[in-house]
Structures are given as structure tokens and as C-alpha cells.
Amino acid sequence: MRISEFLSPPAIVSDLKARDKQEVLRELSAALARAHPTLKAERLVEVLREREKLGSTGIGEGVAIPHGKLPGLGQLVAAFGVSRQGVDFEAIDGKSTHLFFALVAPENSAGVHLKALARISRLFKNPRFRASILEASTVEAIHALIVQEDARP
């Protein structure tokens, strides 16, 4: 599974304006809805918020992977956002979060959903990669870095 299969440039926000967790979820949901016009941003926000109620998806090292499942969704979709100032996302390490990868999967897709989460988590464990994403200033540059890193064995 490659991230480029479910993340496209229109779903990337190179400079999130959000100042808190709820604003991040709204901004990422809006990006997903722009990239996938059949999806409604309000519904996506609800899905992501429901999962956050179970515990923060802030995995630490400045990364969060908010995710959820949406009934009726035909395929896995994702949005990615960079917060230059950082946001308190209640991450497990207590640090500010700068890189957000929102993932929404079809309701009955546990295998695909878990594979995608694992792939994203593994990619963003690399400190050099995280730094390069933070230095990139355009959607195109961010997308190219993700695709390049994802192509590594």
C-alpha cells in the first residue's frame, strides 16, 4: 500500500491556521471535502471527533494521525496538514503537534485502515523526513516528499 493511493495534493494544507485540536479537525475535514466533493466536511469532522473521544491520536514527536471510519465511503481517503506554530493535540509526549495526517476509511475496512495507519506511523518516525516536511513551503513540495519517502523499501 502506498500513501499516494489515498492522499492527493488537493487534500494537503501546507500551512494550517488552526490554533486548537477542534480547528485542526475542521481544517483537515474541509481539505478532504475539497479533494472528494461527494464528502461533507461536517460529517468528516464528526467521524474524527468521535475517535478523539476515545483518546488522542497525537502519537508524539510532533505527529498526529486523527482517523475514523465512515459508513458508505467507497475507499480510504486522507488529508495532510502542517502547522508551523504547532498545536496542543494532547499528544502522548505532551509536545506540540505540527504534522497531521487525517485518515478516513470505509466502515468495514479494518485491514486497509490498519495498514494505512501503520504505514503512516512508520514513515513519520524518521526525524529527517519530519524536518524536511516542516521546511517545505508548498503543497507540491510536501506531496513530493511524502511520495518519495513512501517509495523507499
CB-based contacts of 94: which residues, under 8 Å, 6+ apart?
none
Q: Tell me whether residue 113 is one of the annotated catalytic residues.
A: no
- AA identity, residue 13: V
Which position has the grid cell 497531521? Answer: 100
Catalytic residue among 36, 67, 98, 113: 67
Q: Of all helices (H) and strands (E), which one includes residue 109?
A: none
Report the C-alpha gap between 132 and 134 in whole angstroms.
Answer: 5
Report the C-alpha gap between 99 and 60 in whole angstroms.
Answer: 10
Cα–Cα–Cα angle for 36, 41, 45, rounded to 5 degrees: 125
Cα–Cα–Cα angle for 2, 117, 39, rounded to 5 degrees: 80
- C-alpha grid cell, residue 57: 491520536
- The residues annotated with a catalytic role in the active site are 67
